[in-house]
Each structure stands twice: as structure tokens, then as C-alpha cells.
């Protein structure tokens, strides 16, 4: 079973882990995405969008993410991971970053690359989805 959390508050500890583990390019991308998510959540419109995304994301992508989980070989990591999605003004997914890059996270990234959600408050809008699976 997959569990979604649309809480986008990124603790400084997570950023420190990103900084110490990721390559320079990935570290910068993840850090920039996390900062954009944090800034978005400080607005009223961002908080409303966050609430709506918790429901919409699950409704639209649960089956795709279940397929990813079912396709994993025995013993593959099912550890929690974060997905950062960059959306255009119409809600089309422009970019997906995942951390850590487990096989399940990479499958999820591929499943969402051509995704579309409700239009965000503005273009180039970052959201964070925390993914947790149940064995």
C-alpha cells in the first residue's frame, strides 16, 4: 500500500543530507527546489494548492505508483522518498527530481514525467510529494 503525504515543509536536516550525499549539480537542483517549495508554502495560495494536491495527486497517480511498486524485484528498496515536481502555469509537469534515487523512486519519476495536475498559483511552481510504501 502506498501512503502519500503532501506536507511540503522541508526540514533543514533534509537539506543537510542532500548537501552531503548528492553530486554538486543534484545538490543545487534539490536545494533550489526545496527553497521554492518552502517559499510557495508561505503564501495563502500556496497553502490552498498544497491541500488540493494531497487529494488530487493520489487520485490521479496512485495506480501508476502501485504498478511501479509491483514491478520492483524482490528485495528492492521500498524506503520513503521525496519527489519534487516543477509545474508550468497550466499544471503540466516540467521536471521531476527524486531523493533518494532508489529503483522505486526512479520508476515514479518516469511515471510522472508527462503528468498534469491542476494549474498552480503561477508557472515554474515547485511542489514536494513525500512517498511512503507499505510492504
Over residues 66-97, the pLDDT tens digits come to 999 999 988 888 899 999 999 999 999 999 99
Q: pLDDT exceeding 90 applies to what percent of the chain?
A: 71
What is the reported pTM?
A: 0.79
Nearest 5°: the CA angle 75, 3, 46 is: 130
Average the pLDDT over 59-64 and give the result: 93
Provide the Cα torsion 78, 80, 85, 90; round to 10°.
80
Domain count across the chain:
1
pLDDT band, very low/low/confident/very high, at 3 (cuts 50, 70, 90): very low
Q: Compute the distance between CA of residue 72 and CA of residue 55 in angstroms, rounded to an integer.
A: 25
Range of the domain at 40: 2-133
Amino acid at each position: 500500500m502506498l501512503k502519500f503525504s503532501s506536507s511540503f515543509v522541508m526540514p533543514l536536516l533534509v537539506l543537510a543530507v542532500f548537501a552531503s550525499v548528492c553530486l554538486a549539480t543534484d545538490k543545487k537542483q534539490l536545494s533550489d527546489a526545496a527553497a521554492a517549495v518552502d517559499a510557495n508554502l508561505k503564501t495563502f495560495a500556496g497553502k490552498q494548492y498544497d491541500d488540493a494536491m494531497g487529494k488530487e495527486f493520489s487520485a490521479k497517480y496512485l495506480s501508476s505508483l502501485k504498478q511501479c511498486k509491483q514491478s520492483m524485484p524482490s528485495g528492492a528498496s521500498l524506503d520513503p522518498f521525496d519527489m519534487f515536481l516543477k509545474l508550468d502555469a497550466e499544471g503540466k509537469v516540467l521536471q521531476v527530481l527524486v531523493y533518494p534515487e532508489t529503483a522505486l523512486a526512479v520508476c515514479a519519476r518516469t511515471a510522472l514525467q508527462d503528468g498534469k495536475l491542476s494549474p498552480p498559483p503561477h508557472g515554474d511552481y515547485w511542489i514536494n510529494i513525500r512517498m511512503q510504501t507499505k510492504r
